[in-house]
Amino acid sequence: MLGVVANRLAAQDVILSEVRADSAESWVEVHNRSTYPINLGTWSLYYATHTVGQPQRYWWAFPLGTILGPNEFVRVHWFQTSPGGVGPGEFYTGTSPYGFLFYLGGEALHGESGAFALFASQSSSQMNDPALVRDWVSWGDHGFQRESLAVQAGYWHEGTQCPTIPGGQSLARNTASIGTTTLRHLEWFLDPTPTPGFANMNGVEATSYGTACGVPGHHLLGAPQLRVTSLPLIGNAQFAYSVDNTTGVFGECMLFAFSTAAAPSGLPSLLPPVPGPACREAIDTRFVITTLVGSTRLMTTQVPMSLANLSPAMSGVELHAQALIFDWLPNAWPPYQGVSNALKIVIGQ
């Protein structure tokens, strides 16, 4: 029966979902995204480092008979001794070389850099076969041993890495983005509120709508494109909006408006008319709750909005944002330079 379960495995059913690596907690989480149980009893976790004077490659074998149920998680506490009384779904690698495959021993997790992989094997003769790689993540650096196997298998992109993992945070995966991003490392984000045993995001959303527009005669680098630099999660101090294609010259400024809704069909525009294709607001200007005005920068202008101290009661709050670029000069023409697309965000945790 276990062999049948394993043979049903499809690509990316089992994934690396979260990594924490600091003095308080050091673990890696594995998630079964499928609707059927998966046999991990013949699989191994691979950890790679760039630590000088160390083997820089370590394998730990999942115990025989480890079955990961549908939508279940397991957490492996790396290079740590079991405290005893461990609950289901919790594993400790220990610190003895005999607890690791091939007796290479282990090495503590380093938040500044490292890499994890899932291998569908525990055999030394198969650890250079890209067909047996099931997932990979690198943080803080790239070019780790066997990273090329993950690149060949399509689970990573050469020369890329996730950011270093600060203390108290985790490197977490946005599972909804798997298979939709241009580069694999973009599926990961820094989570200030680690969630072992649970989905990494709850209720979060960041959706673009409307059309970025530049009026005839504008001096922007292109139509202003609005995006978020990270996910709107409670506790995320790095959350920010970003507007691309600004120039930061000619007295150029940006009006950033927040509304509680998108504009309904037929809502009249408040923008002054200009010759050529009309630009218009995509947010509902009747329900604007606040605006910000500031100077623009060359190429990209950021609007930081730390969510570090946001109350949990704000979870589920919906905001719609849009940017208007204009020149802060008398008698400037055109009367504005362009309008960005709009973004709907829902704050999650």
Average pLDDT over residues 41-61: 97
Mean pLDDT of 122-144: 97
* pLDDT tens digits, 141-197: 999 999 999 999 999 999 999 999 999 999 999 887 788 778 899 888 888 889 899
* pLDDT score recorded for residue 144: 98
Identity of residue 124: S
**What is the structure's pLDDT at 284?**
97
Report percent pLDDT > 90 for the chain: 72
Report whether 139 contacts 19 (CB < 8 A): yes
User: How large is the average pLDDT for residues 312-329?
Assistant: 91
Query: What confidence score (pLDDT) does residue 274 get?
Result: 85
- d(Cα 348, Cα 346) in Å, to the nearest integer? 6
DSSP-H helix ranges across the chain:
2-7, 147-153
pLDDT band at 259 (very low <50, low <70, confident <90, very high): very high
pLDDT at 9: 39
Q: What pLDDT, on a 0 to 100 scale, did the predictor assign at position 180?
A: 77
Q: Give pLDDT, residue 222.
A: 95
Indicate the pLDDT class of residue 213, thresholds 50, 70 and 90.
very high
Length of the chain: 349
- Say whether pLDDT at 2 is over 60: no
Rg, C-alpha atoms of the chain: 24
What span, in angstroms and rounded, lies between the C-alpha atoms of 41 and 86?
A: 18
Domains of the chain by residue range: 2-191, 205-346
Whole-model pTM? 0.68
What DSSP designation does 23 have? S
Q: What is the pLDDT of residue 349?
A: 72
CB 137 within 8 A of CB 171: yes
| Beta strands 14-21 and 26-32, pairing class | antiparallel
Q: What does the pLDDT read at residue 11? A: 55
Reply yes or no on whether the pLDDT at 230 is more than 90. Answer: no
pLDDT 10s digits, 7-27: 333 458 999 999 999 999 999
Peptide bond into 334 cis (omega under 30): yes
CATH number of 2-191: 2.60.40.1260
**DSSP state for residue 184 in the 8-state scheme:** G
CA distance 292 to 271: 17
Whole-Å CA distances, 231 to 180, 268, 292, 334: 16, 32, 21, 35
| Side chain identity at residue 306, one-letter code | S
Say how far apart CA 235 and CA 38 lie, in whole Å: 34
Give φ, ψ of 148 to 5 degrees. Answer: -60, -30
Q: What is the mean pLDDT of residues 70-87?
A: 93
pLDDT for 8: 34
Q: Give long-range contacts, CB 8 A cutoff, 24+ apart: 326-330.
A: 326/252, 326/253, 326/254, 326/255, 327/250, 327/251, 327/252, 327/253, 328/251, 328/252, 328/253, 329/250, 329/251
Q: What is the pLDDT of residues 339-349, one digit of tens each?
A: 999 999 999 87
pLDDT in tens, 278-307: 799 999 999 999 999 999 999 999 999 998
Q: What is the mean pLDDT of residues 29-40?
A: 96
Which secondary-structure segment (H or E) carries 39? strand 38-39
3-state SS, residue 36? coil
Least confident of 47-61, 114-128, 317-331: 317-331
pLDDT at 5 over 60: no
| Model pLDDT, residue 65 | 95
The answer to which of 67-76, 199-208, 285-294, 307-316 has the lowest mean pLDDT is 199-208
205-346: CATH architecture: Sandwich (2.60)
* Region for 4 from its dihedrals, namely left if φ exceeds 0, alpha if ψ lies in -120 to 50, beta otherwise: alpha
Confidence of residue 87 (pLDDT cuts 50, 70, 90): confident
2-191 matches 205-346 in fold: yes
Structure tokens at 102: 């091939």
State the chain's mean pLDDT as an integer: 91
